[in-house]
Structures are given as C-alpha cells and as structure tokens.
Amino acid sequence: MTTHRTPVLTLLAALGTSALALPAHAAEDPSSSEATRVAILGDTPYGPEQTEQFPALVEEVNAADDWDWVFHAGDVKSGSTPCSDELLAHKLDLYNTFASPFVITPGDNEWTDCHREKAGQYLPTERLEHFRSTYYPDPSGTIGGESMPVTPQSEAQPQHAQSVENVLFRASQVTFATVHVVGSDNGEKPWDELPEGDHPAERMAEVEERRAANLDWIDHAFDAAEQQGDVAVALMMQAEPVVDVEGFAAERALILERAAAFDGPVLLLHGDEHVHEYEEAYGGVENLTRVETFGDTATEWLSMTVDPTTEEVFTFETHAVGDDEGPIVDTGVAAPGRAPLGALAGLSLLGLGGVTLRRARTA
C-alpha cells in the first residue's frame, strides 16, 4: 500500500505519565524521562479475511523490538460471529504471538452482544465471566509474548473483585488506566435476541456493578497521578462515552470533571466506531484530547510515542502493513489550544477540532 508522508499535526498538551506498574522495556524508573513506544489496535481481526491477514500485522509489529506494549481497544471479533469458546481462544492465541506485552480492554462484541442470534444467543454475563477468566488469567500481569506487571482493580480495590480487566500502570511519567466502557450503550441495550427474551434485571445489575467499578477506577487513576506528581493521565477503553447516551453519562461526566481539575493533559484513547480520528478540547475540557484507533482492519494500525523531554510528548503515527516507506506521521499531542497545522494527505479538516479520518462502520 502506498503511503504519503505528512507533517506532524499538533493538538494536545505535553503529556507526561503515571501508572502503577512498569512496562517491560521502559525505563527502570517509571517516572524517568525515557520515551515509551506503544502499538495500538482495536476491533480486529474481524472475519476470515482479517484473521488470515493478522499474522502479517503481528510480524510487522514484532519486527520493531522497541515496543513497550501493544494495546487492543476491544472487540476481538465482529458482532455477527459466534461468541464460542473456540473462537475466543483462537483470537487469544493470535494475540499471544505478539512479542511485547499485550494490554486489552473488553469490547461489546465478546460479551454484551453475544445475545444476538448470529453470535450464538449466549447469555452475556456468562460470556463476560468467561472472557475475564481466559484473557486475564493472571490479573497482575498482561498476556502477550512477554508479561508486563500491572495493578488490577481487583487487587487495588477489593470491593470490585470482579474487575480484573481494569488495570493501572506507570511509564515515562504518565498514568495509564484501562476502563471497561463498551458499545451497545455501555451494555444497557436489551438482550432481546435471547430465546427467552431480555433479562432486564440481570442486565442492569451488571451495568450498575461495572459502572460503580469504573467510576472508582477513574477516580483512582487521577488520585494516583496527583499523589505521585505525574504530569498526565491516559484512560484507555473500548467505546467513546458519547454525549446524550444515558449508558455513558456517569463515566463521561466523571472523566470531564476530573480532567478539568487535573493540572496537566489527559488522553482518552478508544476504538469501537472503526474510524481513526482525534479531537482536542473534548467535551469542552481544554486539556482533554480523544484519539480513536483504526477498526475493522488487519492492515492498518496506530502507534504512539510518549517522550516527556519534548514539547509534543505524545506523537501518533499511522501504519499500513507491507508499506516499505514507513509510517505516516499522523498527529502530535502538544499544548492545549494549539491549532492543527494541516490535514493528512487526501483528507480534509472537519471543523476546528482536528483532523478526522472517517470510514464506514460495520457492526
């Protein structure tokens, strides 16, 4: 695939870092100024074609040995494919072929949407329990070719013992935290394709339990960053907590509140909508920037470099598998209020909030 190099586009504030455990390849001191490198995926691989393409993506990522970890923003399969043990295990085997530690947050397709007829009409809460037990076998460490120590919410906040998927870690003066926020209105959409119909009481009990955990975990991430003097916070989840959707209201409100009060930049990194885009001053909060990774593709992916010694601490690059010219320089994260310098080749600026790369979404 031919790519076009473009100048760095600036958006957000100089991000430093904080979190509670140390990535395997990062500086021994997580508060050091050594740069961190992250490969970012989401909503992949979908279907037989992408599953066949996926090893080439893994090979390309593995060819560069400087990744501190790989992040997957959830949805290991499409919403219209079976939620079977076999399929989920096969995807897990694929992810374990990455040489670097592999950090994943759940998506709706691997549990919430499993009530669908095409997904096998599984009870979603049973699938969530299965996903937690198989994808987080040791909550204090990641999957992937090399395990990275993390602090799970189940350990830090025992009242949320079920939330093994919410983890916290530190690197390059930034606090990174995964938060279990998913599509399908954050799990509130009815399970109406089950043979016996929806289970509203069970569905909403799960939502309320997970929401309570999420809110406590968001607070914990910001509290940890403030107590340790970290310069930035990065929250990683599957779905964007969009405005005017009740299922996202509590998490969105708390993120905006804590970000506005935080003395430093905050990054919200997610997937779900199958578009690559970024947005500064998210929700009207000057120091909060949203970045969405590619989805429904096994040939495109993002990477992020976190370098606290530069003004533009967070830099994003887009990659196309098999491209010999190297990555496209995509976005830099710089001081709040700085306007983007330009648009990516072949794309246009969609308003003043930044450059948006839009693709048609499939379920």
Q: How do residues 18-44 score in pLDDT, each as one tens digit?
A: 333 444 444 457 767 888 999 999 999
Share above pLDDT 90 across residues of the chain, in percent, rounded to a whole number: 71
Q: Is 55 helix (H, G, I), strand (E, B) or coil?
A: helix
| The pLDDT value given to residue 358 | 29
Of the listed ranges 30-39, 127-136, 168-177, 343-352, the one predicted with least confidence: 343-352
pLDDT band with cut points at 50, 70 and 90 for residue 6: very low
pLDDT at 352 over 80: no
| The pLDDT value given to residue 265 | 85
pLDDT at 217 over 70: yes
Q: Which residue has the tokens 């999420």?
A: 214
Q: Which residue has the tokens 């870690």?
A: 169
> Which tops the pLDDT comparison, 269 or 312?
269
Is the backbone peptide bond immediately before 45 cis, with ω within 30 degrees of 0?
A: yes
Q: What is the dihedral angle through the alpha carbons of 186, 295, 124, 209, rounded to the nearest 10 degrees?
A: -30
174, containing H or E segment: strand 174-178
Longest Cα separation, the chain? 58
What global pTM score does this model have?
0.85
Average pLDDT over residues 335-350: 29
| The pLDDT value given to residue 257 | 98
318, containing H or E segment: strand 314-320
